[in-house]
Structure 1
């Protein structure tokens, strides 16, 4: 379900996605030494045509997909064809992902960078003013409503496709699902935004995709998660956790169906219920 990237971790000597740690575990009043696993997060610099644009803390896996997905969802490039190449460089301080992008996109990125005064480690990347928060989003449509049975099937399969989370308990997952609920692409990361960008980056390399497909995330639905899903042209988003009010307003405006608190056969539809089929 998660094929290795062309530049995989073993070839590049990337850090392992998890590390062993000796711990003192207290259970039933008895303390014992034990071995546990911790999810790794490393600084990942996204470098466009030689200029570093952002540094994100991320799981050192699927970094090509992450960089491409980030570039698409942050509107640095309009489509995958504007990314001519991706190279990964591992250093002592972290990992640099070098992207060669089209001249048009690079000129626009340099104009954006001139106005940036700072950046936080989490939040809305590349945004420095309030009027940039709610970007223009595509109008989304689906060829058919999202079936309840597809949601249930996808939820049932997601846990089995999260090996890093089973090992560490510290990562989020995002998945691109077929219209029937089959899990087509699954990615994990310590950051929920990173996991979604990795999925969208992998989707961008597909020759074709199911127009009735939907996105599934193990986290809450924030504005940025809804925006990234919309920028990928996906008209349905299913989440295990809660949505925010702002995310739902955004979804209602662009035509995205949002399902949240999806657990087993139970869920709540918060936006555009016309896009849901209760079969």
Structure 2
């Protein structure tokens, strides 16, 4: 069956013994997504055009353009004939100040949490520490990591998509979103949680990605107490997590993990 976010492609498979054969397989869709907020061109991001309402809400929360999902009024996505997508977002009028301060049009590889930031001081700006504390045993993390491939239809079909999963403290996976970009996958997940009224403080997040500091910042802003990543963490990610009360686990497998 077709998988949302993937498109079929005819390719040629070559082998070490000199054989070659045509093969049809799915490729993850990567497209420019122009984000327009309250009529202002805010950013152009590269991403997978699926779950775009979740993405829009999560993006606005991660960018701290809104303090609450209540300030998010609507999002409409339209394919552009020339290629790409237009994502028109409407926020409450009272949420317009941060938008006007940081509005501009930007082309980037993915939503990285740095949109509209112009100085090093702003990049490393202090954030409110995560207030929630959650007792998650290692066994719960191992359970979630082992189960995650079963929740990744786009990843299985293309071998080229990242996933972000929200899990209960005992390791049960509640919600997953996928995207060609790891930052986008996390924004989609945060938006989906917000739309369902599920607080990130009540569980933990698992990412199929390298843990960079932007992902840590998104988790901190969301108030999630524990972030787990399949790949390793960067130095700044570890520093930012420690500075803001976020428990960080990386290189997580079904039977091992690293705690920073």
Tell me by how many angstroms 1:208 deviates.
Answer: 4.0
The 1-side partners of 2:223 and 2:56 are apart by 18
* 2:34 is the counterpart of 1:45: yes
- Asked if the contact 1:48–1:106 (Cα under 8 Å) also holds between the matched residues in 2, the reply is no
Tell me by how many angstroms 1:117 deviates.
Answer: 8.7
2:146 aligned counterpart, secondary structure:
helix
**Equivalent runs, 1:1-279 vs 2, <5 Å:** 17-29=5-17, 30-92=19-81, 93-113=83-103, 120-122=108-110, 123=112, 124-209=114-199, 211-270=201-260
**Once the two structures are superposed, what CA deviation does each residue of 1:29-58 show, in whole Å capped at 9, x if it has no partner?**
121111122111111111111111011111
**Once the two structures are superposed, what CA deviation does each residue of 1:165-220 show, in whole Å capped at 9, x if it has no partner?**
11111110001111111111101100000000000001112234474410100001
TM-aligned CA distance change 1:187 to 1:107, over 3 Å: same
Q: TM-score when scaled to structure 2?
A: 0.92
In structure 2, list runs of 5 or more residues that go unmatched. Answer: none
Tell me by how many angstroms 1:125 deviates.
Answer: 2.1
- Asked if the contact 1:179–1:210 (Cα under 8 Å) also holds between the matched residues in 2, the reply is no
The 1-side partners of 2:105 and 2:79 are apart by 27
1:146 aligned counterpart, secondary structure:
coil
Aligned pair count? 255
Tell me by how many angstroms 1:27 deviates.
Answer: 2.6
Q: TM-score when scaled to structure 1?
A: 0.86
The 2-side partners of 1:174 and 1:130 are apart by 28
Moved more, 214-223 or 18-27: 18-27
TM-aligned CA distance change 1:49 to 1:183, over 3 Å: same
- Asked if the contact 1:49–1:101 (Cα under 8 Å) also holds between the matched residues in 2, the reply is yes
TM-aligned CA distance change 1:105 to 1:142, over 3 Å: closer
1:263 aligned counterpart, secondary structure:
coil
2:53 aligned counterpart, secondary structure:
helix
Tell me by how many angstroms 1:112 deviates.
Answer: 2.1
